[in-house]
Amino acid sequence: MKIDEINILIKGPKGELKVQVRPEIEANIQDNQIKLNIKEQSKNSNAYWGLSRALVANAVHGVSEGYKKELEIQGVGYRARVEGNGLVLEMGFSHPVELKTPEGIEFAIEKNIIIVSGIDKQLVGEMAAQIRAVRPPEPYKGKGIRYVGEIVLRKAGKRAEGAVKT
């Protein structure tokens, strides 16, 4: 761990991350722990302190254990594969959708589940959201890409009540 004026560099077994801290917050290392204190009291200083604490905690967790998000593909003919430095999704469009892998992110595919993993929590969540946005689950049949464990509310389809015969 290194601290300069506004950056905290955190190293761990999975890599290293740099967290930028607001100028209102002061960071110190005491007993192998990072302590954050408010330099000057202002309207938003408590909020900035909480934000900084959460960002540092997420970085420490990321470099020590890492983060992962799992997405499930549902639908006939929907596929995903890792190809080169990206992810290729075949989602019923006229063309496959190619997503490039940002630095620090890894993809793995097991049957119909896409696993996005990395050390940066924000980057992992953002990449998972981009994958889900390619084909979000639709409310009638539930086809599309969803997070594992996500509940999709289903709508009733059309009914042929009161149909007039001619």
- How is the chain split into domains, by residue range? 2-64, 67-147
- Token pair 């007039």 is found at 164
The per-residue pLDDT for 2 is 81
CA atoms within 13 A on the CB side of 19: 30
Q: How far apart are CA 128 and CA 69, in angstroms?
A: 7
Do domains 2-64 and 67-147 share one topology? The answer is yes
pTM, two decimal places: 0.84
Q: What is the CATH number of domain 2-64?
A: 3.90.930.12
How far apart (Å, rounded) are the C-alpha atoms in residues 129 and 145?
10
pLDDT of residue 158: 79
pLDDT tens-digit readout, 80-130: 999 988 999 999 999 999 999 999 899 999 999 999 999 999 999 999 999
Strand, coil or helix: what is 131? helix
- CATH number 3.90.930.12 is the correct assignment for the domain at 67-147: yes
Report the sign of the C-alpha dihedral through residues 12, 18, 19, 22, in that order: positive
pLDDT score at 72:
94
The mean of the pLDDT values for the chain is 89
